[in-house]
Amino acid sequence: MKKYIFSILLNLIFQIGYSQIVIIDSTNKTPIPNVSVILGTKTFTSISDLEGIIHISKELLNNDNTLSFSHISYQPKSIKTNFIKTNDTIFLTPITRKLDDVVVSSNTTKDYLVLKGFYRSYLYNDNMVYGYSDGIVEYFINLNKKVSSSKSLTNRVISNRLFERNFETNIKNKGFIKIGYSVNPSLPKITTKSLSHIIHLTKNDNETKFINQIDGKSIRINYDLLNGKKTIINFLGMRIQFLKRNSSEEYNEGRLNPLFLKFISNNNSLKLSLKNENYLKNYFEEIIEEFFIINSYYISEKSYKKIKSSNDFRCPNSNNIEILTEYKNKFNFPLTPTFIENQIGNGLNIK
């Protein structure tokens, strides 16, 4: 009983200090997960959850500032904070793009599904961006392998940019440590659940078990990857706590078919601490990965063997941005988020 009362009190205190905002698709009136929300031009405020909800401090909303909303598949939107009400709803407009027609040949052997598109990937800590990359990439999904196999998903980067922040001199006074992908952004990963779903759809005509939003124009499927999973791991003196692992995928034209997959977005956050080092206390990292598909088709094993692909998902530097620029102009891809653009050249430099 005491725990129940304490929980209610905490909830009331939270409601008093924060305003809940729901972000909605203006076309189909469904919530939009994984929308980045920036205060002003440089303060990363929040990421919408799988219900499209964010919580913003009422103190921030009372200041004369601007909230900006960013998602790879929607028109960016900025609103003055004094126009935002408590428990408000924000509508975002989908970006209209002329995509390549979906063509299915009866002669094609369905050994691999190819997804070609534009990606954005970045990670930050305490409003400091430590890695950003965008570009054109192809994914190859092996439809004949088990999803758990390391060879079930490979990639080929066609054109991209990679920005990194050099922070070795800040290890002691900023509380950072250089470990693995904490510096380098990764290509957006298609999660195991999503891979399993895509492979299942290829081999079956219909799949309704995963649908939670359907309106005839789009189908969105959300995954809470921490649901029922262990969230704290102790490894080599490190304590890693996974705070959030969300993934969302959307299909065009009400067609639950891999060839009509529109985009995939992931949002992960974690907290890390070291037992034996006093300079790393509760390191927090937020990761955003977005992938918008512009073309999808099947190829045979024979065709795949002619392609030089990789199973390494660390973002490379292609040193070839001409193709990226061409695709951005052709398909109206969104610009670099403002809070990232403001840090480029100011410690965040192209590799």
Mark whether 75 and 190 lie in a shared domain. no
Q: Are residues 7 and 71 in the same domain?
A: yes
pLDDT at 65: 82
Q: Is residue 103 part of a domain?
A: no
- Residues 212 and 301 reside in one and the same domain: yes
> Which pLDDT value is given to residue 178?
47
| pLDDT of amino acid 51 | 93
Of 25, 12, 23, nearest to 213 by C-alpha is: 25
Tell me how far CA of residue 276 lies from CA of 41, 66, 125, 270, 285, in angstroms: 37, 41, 22, 19, 20
Task: Verify that 319 and 206 share a domain, yes or no.
Answer: yes
Residue ranges making up the domain that contains 22: 2-92
Same-domain pairing of 58 and 124 = no
Do the domain assignments include residue 102?
Answer: no
Beta strand extents in 145-217 (DSSP E only): 153-165, 213-214
Looking at the structure, tell me whether residues 284 and 331 fall in a common domain.
Answer: yes
User: Does 154 lie in the same domain as 78?
Assistant: no
Query: According to the model, what pLDDT value does residue 306 have?
Result: 94
Does residue 288 lie in a domain region?
yes
Instruction: Answer whether residue 106 is part of any domain.
Output: no
- Residue 158: closest CA among 309, 264, 272: 309
Contact 71, 265 (CB under 8 A): yes
Tens-binned pLDDT, residue by residue, of the chain (351 aa): 544 444 444 444 445 577 889 999 998 888 999 999 888 776 777 899 999 999 888 777 777 788 889 999 898 898 888 888 778 899 999 887 665 555 555 566 889 999 999 999 998 887 788 889 999 999 999 988 777 666 789 999 999 999 988 755 444 444 444 443 345 788 998 988 888 888 887 776 544 444 444 445 678 889 998 887 888 888 777 788 888 999 999 888 777 788 888 999 999 998 877 765 554 556 788 899 999 999 999 999 999 999 999 999 988 887 778 889 888 888 888 778 888 888 888 888 887
**pLDDT value of residue 2:** 47
Is the domain of 71 the same as that of 138? Answer: no
Tell me which residue of 31, 117, 36 sits closest to 337, measured CA to CA: 36
Q: Of 92, 122, 138, which residue is a domain's last? A: 92
**pTM, full prediction:** 0.84
Tell me which amino acid residue 62 is. Answer: N
- Please indicate, yes or no, whether residues 10 and 153 belong to a single structural domain of this protein: no
Q: How far is CA 123 from the centre of its chain?
A: 10
Residue 297 lies in a domain: yes
Last residue of a domain, one of 59, 92, 125: 92
97, part of any domain? no
Domain assignment present for 260 = yes
Q: How far apart are CA 241 and CA 273, in angstroms?
A: 9
Same domain flag for 138 and 253:
yes
Judgement on whether residues 254 and 136 belong to the same structural domain of the protein: yes
Instruction: Tell me, yes or no, whether 84 lies in a domain.
Output: yes
pLDDT at 309: 92
Last residue of a domain, one of 92, 121, 143: 92
Coil, strand or helix: which one is 50? coil
Residues 58 and 179 in one domain: no
| CATH number for the domain harbouring residue 19 | 2.60.40.1120
For the chain, the domain total comes to: 2
